[in-house]
Amino acid sequence: MSEGLKYALRLNGISKSYDTVRALAGLSFDVIEGRFFALFGPSSVGKTTALRTITGLVKPDSGRVEINGNDVTDAPITGRGVSMVFQSFALYPHLTVYENFAYPLREEKIGREEIDKRVKETATMLKLSHRLERKPNTLSGGEQQRVALGRSLIRRPKILLLDEPLTNLDAKLRHDMRAELKRLHRQFGMTIVYATPDELEALSMGEEIAVMRDGAVVQRGTPDELYENPVDMYVAGKIGSPHMNMIKAKTGSDKTVFETSLGKIISKAKIKSAESGEAAMLGIRPSDIRFAAQGEVGIKSTIQMLEPLGDVTVVSVDTGSETLRMVVPESAATMIKPGQATSIYLDHKKFHIFRASSGQVMT
Amino acid sequence: MSKATSIWEKLGFRKASGVSEAGWGQTLFAGIISLIYFLPVLLIIITSFKLQTEALSIPPKFMPTNLFGLIPDAYVFSPTLENYTSVFSRAMTSGGVAENTGFDRYFFNSIMIASVSVLLALVIGTLAAFGFSRYPLKGNDTYLFVILTTRMLPAIVVIIPIILMFRVTGLSGSYLGIIMLYTAFNLPFTIWMMKSFFDELSLDVEDAARLDGSSGLKVFFKICLPQVLAGLAATFVFGLILTWNEFLFALLLTGIDTRTVPVAMSQAVAGGGIGVLWGLLAAIETLFLIPVFFVTFFLQDHLLRGVTFGTVKR
């Protein structure tokens, strides 16, 4: 426990296979108490299995699960202090909202009056007081989501696991629920592990994010760290919207100059690990490309397509050899039309340099 | 709710919300088709109120009243309850006290044997189905198939070994024997039906209950079972109707005391040497209809949901 921080959760080398499918391959991460931790990765990357391992619903083939410093790898489900919101909500369809809320408390043998009090508190907090006598299938998607959340919160868990909780909601509701979840986290201060395939959700909600690939964590860090310093092309491609532009390049002999079809690009520092002549991929964020100012030497290109997003516009430009995407303020995009010739400027200091063979970042 | 409810809605017949009612033409057409199906039952019910002479008369007398002279007298019979009294007691030709026909007992037997064996099959079959659905064995499907093969042979083929088994074990003519047989008879169907209902349930819901602190047994009783109530009702009714009407096993394996109504019916009709007593037969049949009719009627909501379970995406 370094720096006096307490770990609510530690996973160490968890592996799990189903028949021939490997769901988790040495998954390790830890979560500091009270953090909002996002587990980010595309579907079938092992996020759900990871969460189910934490709950005890899945027994890992190997590895160790610690909750609050105790090894719970083989411990029963109850007593872990973990609750989970399922992607499908998994509400009890035959019980009313009231009974859905009361169920975990009844299982804990809590007295009737206390149950009634807590159910009503939870319902008020989630604005469900008028729905208590309804059955789940008569509720809207957003209400069902809140019932699922309430049922998980009512036990006052130390750790709350959320498995793609917003995937089944429409866009507007998703936005509201993101704010709601953050508010609940502030209010209760519990540790949250939030699995999501949605980059925006991960970045906007996670205080810390672990990017998963093939059942293991590729990189973890704050949203800024992942955005600024992706460890490989996989992370670089997943974090940031629109996605990073990738340009094929060849390492020059002094390891600072890279030859590309767009001309020479000079990195901000010498790439010591590179071999001269080695193939590399240079990544540049769409926001680090702009139109060249007057008198500036830019790269001649043609506007291909405009995607207005309100305050900004995503512009695709064709340089003749590469198609690059750039983000420009809406005001700068009003003048341009597809087919028009232009000149763009790439900020050489903002390039991310990856080894073409492995996709790892080069330093 | 100020919406007028028809008598049918009060009786439990409801139409699905958001569905508009069919027009008169379609309703009439459906009514005629239904009448064709229902006609035999209707004739039986009418016949049960006729005396033997009226039952045999040609042209048939099918109206209990002449509707204030609208119907020619040739088609009108005078309804009587005589058949119903003679179901239970028979006047002696030699005079004296009426003799008990034993049908009160046979009705009790039918109700008792059918309901106990169907309920037993439901309990055992539901547990087995849950096992097959949630804790599959190696070669699960083979076991399920083997269970079904027991129903692939006609009863007449398996009756001889069963009679021998009953004779050796002394189960012939006992309640225990016929109840055990009917339970076994109902099990394959029950297991298959209930397994399909359990297969439909969301596993996430059960996992949620486990996370909420429920043990395996509680998950079954408090989460899974309540979700398949419609299935239980449907399976119960189908099993009940099959067992209620079963004739062959009952004929050969029940004794005088444990005889069921279908067997007694065949014997009551055949006996006497004075031809078939149609009125009496119809009265027995009408009485025989009533119990299953009511069970089905009261479970009809569940029944419909049960048979359409899984066909509609929730």
| Per-residue pLDDT reduced to its tens digit, A124-167 | 988 899 999 999 989 988 899 999 999 999 988 999 999 998 88
* pLDDT on residue A161: 95
> Of A98-112, A241-255, A278-292, which one has max mean pLDDT?
A98-112
For A3-30, the pLDDT digits (tens) are: 567 889 999 999 999 888 889 999 999 9
Q: Is residue A360 part of a domain?
A: no
* Statement to judge: residues A229 and A273 lie in one domain: no
Contact between A211 and A221 (Cβ < 8 Å): no
Residue B311 Cα, gap to closest chain A Cα (Å)? 17
Residue of A nearest to B208 (CA): A90
- Whether B205 has its CB under 8 Å from any CB of chain A: the answer is yes
How many Å apart are CA A326 and CA A312, to the nearest integer?
10
What pLDDT was estimated at residue B8? 62
- The ipTM, to two decimals, is 0.83
pLDDT at B148: 87
A88: closest chain B residue by CA: B204
> Exposed/middle/buried for A337, CB within 10 Å: 0-12, 13-18, 19+?
exposed
Q: Which span out of A183-192, A257-266, B118-127 was modeled with the highest average pLDDT?
A: B118-127
> What is the token pair recorded at B250?
């009952």
Q: For chains A and B, count residue pairs whose Cβ atoms are closer than 8 Å.
A: 51
- Side-chain-side CA neighbours of B210 within 13 Å: the count stands at 15
Over chain A, what is the mean pLDDT? Answer: 89
Separation of alpha carbons A318 and A316, rounded Å: 7
Which residue shows structure tokens 């998950």? B219
- Quote the pTM value: 0.80
Q: What are residue A24's DSSP bridge partners? A: A16
Last residue of a domain, one of A212, A237, A262: A237
Q: Range of A301's domain?
A: 242-355
- Distance of alpha carbon B67 from the chain centroid: 35
Using CB atoms, which residue from B205, B211, B314 is nearest to A92? B205
Query: Which domain CATH number covers A123?
Result: 3.40.50.300
3-state class (DSSP) for residue A198: coil
- Do A34 and A61 meet the contact criterion of CB atoms below 8 Å apart? no
Domain boundary among A187, A219, A237: A237
Contact A55 B211 (CB under 8 A): yes
Assign A65 a pLDDT band (cuts: 50, 70, 90). Answer: very high
> Residue A104: its pLDDT value, please?
94
The residue from A222, A237, A252 where one domain ends is A237
Residues A10 and A141 in one domain: yes
Statement to judge: residues A193 and A246 lie in one domain = no
Give the pLDDT of residue A32: 93
Q: State whether A85 and A214 are in the same domain.
A: yes
- pLDDT of A90 over the 80 cut: yes
Domain count, chain A: 2
Write the burial class of residue B282 (CB in 10 Å: 0-12 exposed, 13-18 middle, 19+ buried): buried
Q: How far apart are CA B41 and CA B22, in angstroms?
A: 26
Q: Which residues of chain B have pLDDT under 70?
A: 1-19, 91-96, 270-273, 305-314
Q: SS in 3 state form for chain B? A: CCCCCCHHHHCCCCCCCCCCCCCHHHHHHHHHHHHHHHHHHHHHHHHCCCCHHHHHCCCCCCECCCCCCCCCHHHECCCCCHHHHHHHEECCCCCCCCEECCHHHHHHHHHHHHHHHHHHHHHHHHHHHHHHHHCCCCCHHHHHHHHHHCCCCCHHHHHHHHHHHHHHHCCCCCHHHHHHHHHHHHHHHHHHHHHHHHHHCCHHHHHHHHHCCCCHHHHHHHHHHHHCHHHHHHHHHHHHHHHHCCCHHHHHHCCCCCCCHHHHHHHHHHCCCCCCCHHHHHHHHHHHHHHHHHHHHHCHHHHHHHHCCCCCCC
Q: What does the angle CA B20 – CA B22 – CA B28 come to, to the nearest 5 degrees? A: 165
Q: What pLDDT is recorded for position A142?
A: 87
**B310 touching chain A per CB within 8 A:** no
For domain B103-263+287-307, the CATH class is mainly alpha
Q: What is the pLDDT of residue B9?
A: 65
My answer on whether A100 and A117 are in the same domain is yes
Q: Is residue A361 part of a domain?
A: no
Min CA distance, A153 vs chain B (Å)? 11
pLDDT in tens, A303-351: 999 998 888 899 999 988 889 999 988 888 888 888 888 889 888 888 8
CATH of the domain at A344: 2.40.50.140
Q: Rounded to whole angstroms, how far apart are CA atoms A137 and A358?
A: 49
